[in-house]
Chains A and B, each alone.
Chain A
Amino acid sequence: MHPSIYMQFLSQLKAGQRAVISAIEAEDSLFHRLTALGFRVGKPLSIMRRASFNGPIHVRLGTTDVILRVTEADRIQINAI
Chain B
Amino acid sequence: MGARRYVFRKVIQAIATLAFVLTFNFFLFRVLPGDPVGLLARSQRLSEADVAALQEQLGLDQPLGSQYVTYVRETLTGNLGVSLRTAREVTSTIWSRVWPTVLLVGLGTLLSTVIGIWIGIKGGWRRGSAFDTTTLYGSLALYSIPEGWLGMLLLLVLSGMLGLFPAGGYESGGETGVARLVDVLNHLFLPLLTLTLGYLGQYAIIMRSSMIDVTHEDFVMSARAKGVPEYQVRRRHVVPNAFLPTFTLIFLNFGFVLGGAIVVEAVFSWPGLGLLTYEAINQLDYPVIQGVFLLSSAAVIAFNLAADITYGYLDPRVREA
Mutual binders A and B: no
The residues of B with any CB-CB pair to A shorter than 8 Å are none
The residues of A with any CB-CB pair to B shorter than 8 Å are none
